[in-house]
Structure 1
Amino acid sequence: MGFPPAGYQAKPGSVLDVDRAFYDRIAGGDRELVDEFVIPIRSGRAWEVPAGALCRLITTAAGPQVGDLNLWNRHNPRERLWAARTRQLQSAHVTTYDRLWSTLPYLRPLVTITKDTLESYGVDEDGGRVHDLLGSRCDPYVNRILTDEDFDFHCHSNLVRAVIPYGLTEFDVHDVLNVFQCTGLNSEDKYFMKASPAKPGDYFEFFAEQDLLCALSTCPAGDLSIPLWGPDARDPLEVCRPIAVEVYRPDPASLDGWQPPVTSGYQGLHGIQLP
């Protein structure tokens, strides 16, 4: 039985038509490492990635680990990752050549994914896929509802602490891209999570389409092989691992012809009559 076509379909030549040859050239070309660090378990960190640079998130030798990623325009944090619209324009799970889109009224790519070593994972027997935009970050508020206990190191809290040095607050933290996470919808149309299929050295790389502030939390549930909630829940500390981050400057020649994407061309009147 076939499925209905996607609801959001653009005319040929739109910004949804990615120049794959261009991004392949960047992904495979010469590059210079300009920053690298490791985010410890159950913590978060924010960092800048300039427009035209590449950023790689890497599972370390310690093993798989889920990361919750937030993105902002470095100069205007009101422009940030819009998970819901990205699900509609791209898909609920993203991979190479997909773009992560920003909020209204900007609605333009923040990043384009250039390399995903888990791309071949596809769809497993449970309908699970990796790198999802379906679920939001874990947070201490929902943990209170589920367990009646406080815990300060959920992804939301990790991200809150990470962005404070950049003048941002809890109100700026938003729905995430769950990197290295395997998820789907079960027969009850409810969100499920399962153990990450990532191996040491797997990576997820993206190209910054504009000056970015990025923040990543190393999830307190680790690789999700141990339930954080429910009847089989226990502290998954033993499966928590760090995530490495690398930022690269591509060969400038490989960027010939590239320009940061412009904001939406809609004039923004919303039917309001001007005098």
Structure 2
Amino acid sequence: MSTLTESAHDPAAAIYDFKLLAGDPWIHVIQRGQTLRIVDLEGNQAADTLFFNAHDPIDRYSAQDTIREQGGLYLTAGTKLMSTRGNVLLTITADTCGRHDTLGGACACESNMVRYAIEKRFMHACRDSFLRGARQMGLGKRDIAHNINFFMNVPVTPDGGLTFADGISAPGRYVEMRAEMDVICLISNCPQLNNPCNGYNPTPVRLLIWD
């Protein structure tokens, strides 16, 4: 785990402050130079997140380029979030959790069925939330690519597999990032009830923006 990095930003000075309930989508433009904070209000919640170049949404967050650029699998303070065209979308400037996943992807009705049980297929999933949010800005299914799972713990096994483990976050921990260009941020606050990524108890997250 990396060294934790706190922020000097005062929540009282934020220009935007919103509580996003578990299972709900959120889409918002973060302007260049603005700072976005995602707060894990009750601990071990997973905030599935996508970023797009606001002026060219085809240029979007790339897990592969981000991992290659920083030479590490997990995201934390100092990580530059790279786009498919090699641009820096945002830089993580503060992090009191210490590690965030960019490998595990988003839960879907199909993966719930395959991973857990046939009857889980009809449970709400992050892919549904992404699609609901994306439509608000004219985006669609083709725009839902590989995402970040803020606060989620997905260890890599020695043989290269992935495991979904208990979260390492806690109530009030947060991740903060500065937009290096105008970006669209799309979040699905994960409703997953079947693995320990959020302690089997989906909870709200808080979203703040500073100029």
Match of 2:22 in 1: 41
**Corresponding residue number in structure 2 for 1:13:** none
Letter in 2 for 1:142: S
Structure 1, unaligned runs of 5 or more? 1-23, 120-129, 229-235, 250-275
Alignment RMSD, CA only?
A: 2.3
Q: Which residue of 2 aligns with 1:139?
A: 108
CA contact (8 A) 1:102 1:110 kept: yes
The reply on whether 1:117 has 2:96 as its aligned counterpart is: yes
- Match status 1:69 vs 2:38: no
Residues in 2 aligned to 1:56 and 1:82: alpha-carbon distance in whole angstroms: 20
1:80: how far off?
A: 0.5
Distance in structure 2 (CA, Å) of the matches to 1:116 and 1:43 = 23
Structure 2 gap ranges (5+): none
Following the alignment from structure 2 to structure 1, what is the Cα–Cα distance between the partners of residues 194 and 108? 17
Percent identical across equivalent pairs?
25
Question: Stretches of 4+ moved more than 4 A in 1?
Answer: none
| Corresponding residue of 2:164 | 193
After superposing the two structures, state which structure 1 stretch, 30-39 or 79-88, moved more.
30-39
Residues 132 and 183 of structure 1 are in contact (CA less than 8 Å); yes or no, is this contact kept in structure 2? yes
2:78 aligned partner: 97
Q: Which residue of 2 aligns with 1:84?
A: 64
- What's the CA shift string for 1:74-118, capped at 9, x where partnerless? 1211010001111111121011111000013xx110000000002
CA contact (8 A) 2:53 2:182 kept: yes
In the alignment, which residue of structure 2 is the partner of 1:56? 37
Partners in 2 of 1:64 and 1:181 — Cα distance?
7
Is contact 1:66–1:224 with CA below 8 Å preserved after alignment?
A: no
Counterpart of 1:203 in structure 2 is 174
- Structure 1 residue 64: deviation in Å? 2.7
Change (3 A) 1:227 1:35: closer
Query: What amino acid maps onto 1:136 in structure 2?
Result: G
Q: Is 1:242 the equivalent of 2:204? A: yes
Instruction: Determine the C-alpha separation between the residues in 2 that align with 1:201 and 1:144.
Output: 32
- The change in CA–CA distance for 1:88 and 1:226 in structure 2 (over 3 A counts) is closer
Shift in Å, 1:145:
3.2
Per the TM alignment, residue 152 of structure 1 is displaced from its structure 2 partner at its CA by: 5.1
Whether contact under 8 Å (2:44, 2:198) holds in the other structure is no
State which structure, 1 or 2, has the greater radius of gyration over its C-alpha atoms: 1
Q: Name the residue aligned to 1:148.
A: 118
For these two proteins, the number of residue pairs brought into alignment is 202
- The DSSP-based 3-state class of the residue aligned with 1:72 is strand
Q: Residue 29 and residue 153 in structure 1: after superposition, are their counterparts in 2 closer, same or farther (change >3 A)?
A: closer
Bigger RCO (CA 8 Å, 6+ sep): 2
Where does residue 173 of structure 1 map in the other structure?
A: 144
> Does the aligned pair in 2 maintain the 1:195–1:223 contact within 8 Å?
no
Residue 131 of structure 1 aligns to a residue in which SS? coil
